A and B are shown apart, each in its own frame.
Chain A
Amino acid sequence: MTQSMPKPAPVPVPIPLAMLAELTHRCPLKCPYCSNPLDLIRRSGELDTETWIDVFRQAAAMGVLQLHLSGGEPAARRDLEALTEGARDAGLYTNLITSGVGLTEARLSRLAELGLDHVQLSLQGVSAAMADLIGGYQGGFETKMQVAAWTTALDLPLTINAVVHRRNLDDVAETIALAHRLGARRLEIANTQYHGWAFKNRAALMPTPDQVKRAGGIIAAARDRLAGEMVIDYVTPDHHATFPKPCMGGWARMGLCITPSGKVLPCHAAETITTLAFETVLERPLAEIWANGPAFTAYRGTDWMPEPCRSCDRQTRDWGGCRCQAFAYTGDAGATDPVCSKSPLHSEITQQLADITAAGSDADALVYRTL
């Protein structure tokens, strides 16, 4: 941009709805699609209890309603109880996003007493063999079954979060049945998002179009059958779609993410965009970073959009798709998401993905996440 160009009017700063607090990257599981970055933060780099609670208070004052305590495995933090109490004192609806490993009945009961609102438990497969293979942790499945029972016994709402890919997508009917049997009020079936570790493993994990189609039908039928008993949210794989997903509901529009060391991100995968610089909660108030931090203003609103987004009537529905995906495939985070059928790169990317899917097999080795 040259200096002679008129400055566009600033985009109004929206009120954020949700904040993801990645309390730690430590985790006993080693899922090959982990959403944490390839370069993991160690314990010594994590924010302390007081700093986290101060961030929760700042977030609530900005209008954040929902807080997701996540990781890594949040139960790996010995101060999870203090953090939960601090989050509730700040007035936030507090979700625990957990693998279950590291929780005990006593600990969960204490968290419930302190005001924990909701437990979201990950499920890597419907059998111990599949779940423990994907999680890379023996005994994980058994623990999850216990945590689910403790959660419902405390009358806390339980969400089962099943991440799906070519190895387990054909088990989707069993996944639904298991979640229902465990007493989940909500089931989230989420196709793997191919960033970071998952991008490394995409040949081994990307489902075939036939698998995706079949699963979609089963999920739609189950949603009708279980209406009023279990809410089913389905995150579709956008590689097979005509239009991209409205990633994050629009960049810097509804939510933000804090890394274990306090970096403030517009989305949990944003660090894959190496052309952006991120600030930390140790440097500036959260509200200022949200309002005018360069990583947030870069793709907020619609002014940044190139064609075909600029003249597209879906621009405030899709918000240009996913910035991380655009960067991964084009090297330009400001490009139209190439998954969109209107992108000039669409056919090239679709062919690339089809080749990867066709070449992949269940025999492909999984690269597990490691420090």
Chain B
Amino acid sequence: MKLSPEDIPVIPRGVRVHRCEVRQAWFLLAPERALKLDQIGVAILGEVDGARSLAAISTGLAETYNAPLDRIAADVAKFLNTLVARRMVDVRVAA
């Protein structure tokens, strides 16, 4: 399963972003997994609200960070598809 631009990524129950003050770092916590997030990962997951599509998320981030859309779209898709394969992000397929 790979995200299409119209698909809506969803963070499922039992997966959450967590700030660890001891390590001064962000993590994505899931069953038996703790994935350390960099700033880009935190920014992307902060946009995954279960309502907006992959395309809308990429557009929003490109505007916020004043970066080329094609580059941002590729990075966002790659990051979220990796999480989809690990069942840390679900996909709501566009109707």
Contact = CB atoms under 8 A, between A and B. Distances in A.
A231 B18 contact: no
Contacts of A61: 22
A155 B13 contact: yes
A180 to B, nearest CB: 12
Interface string B14-26: 1110101011000
B51 interface: no
A221 to B, nearest CB: 17
A156 B31 CA distance: 10
Given A157-B14, A186-B87, A117 B22 contact: no
Given A156-B14, A228-B85, A231-B86, A63 B20 contact: yes
Given A15-B22, A157-B12, A186-B87, A65 B32 contact: no
A228 B29 contact: no
B34 interface: yes
A233 interface: yes
A93 interface: yes
Contacts of B29: 65-66, 93, 117
A156 B84 contact: no
A66 B34 contact: yes
B18 A65 contact: yes
A298 interface: no
Contact of A185 (B1, B27, B31): B31
Contacts of B16: 93, 117
Interface string A89-111: 00101010000000000000000
A66 B29 CA distance: 8
Contact of B15 (A63, A157, A188): A157
Central interface residue in A61, A185, A188, by most chain B CB within 10 Å: A185
B30 interface: yes
Interface string A61-100: 1110110000000000000000000000001010100000
Interface in B71-95: 84-87
B18 A118 contact: no
Main secondary structure of the interface of A (DSSP, over half): loop
Nearest to B30: A157
B23 A63 contact: yes
Contacts of B23: 15, 63
Interface size grouping (class) on chain A? 20 to 34
Given A61-B22, A65-B27, A155-B12, A17 B34 contact: yes
Contacts of A15: 22-23
Interface string B22-45: 110001011110100000000000
A327 B85 CA distance: 40
A188 B30 CA distance: 14
A186 B85 contact: no
A120 interface: yes
Given A15-B22, A63-B20, A65-B29, A185 B34 contact: no
Contacts of B12: 155, 157, 185
Interface string A115-140: 00110100000000000000000000
A230 interface: yes
A297 interface: no
23 contacts: A15-B22, A63-B20, A63-B23, A65-B18, A66-B34, A93-B16, A93-B18, A93-B29, A118-B30, A118-B31, A154-B13, A157-B13, A157-B31, A157-B87, A159-B31, A185-B87, A188-B32, A227-B85, A228-B1, A228-B84, A228-B87, A229-B1, A229-B87
Interface of A: 15, 17, 61-63, 65-66, 91, 93, 95, 117-118, 120, 154-157, 159, 185-186, 188, 227-231, 233
Ranked nearest first, the 4 interchain pairs of A and B with the lowest CB-CB distance are A63-B22, A157-B14, A93-B29, A228-B1
Interface of B: 1, 12-16, 18, 20, 22-23, 27, 29-32, 34, 84-87
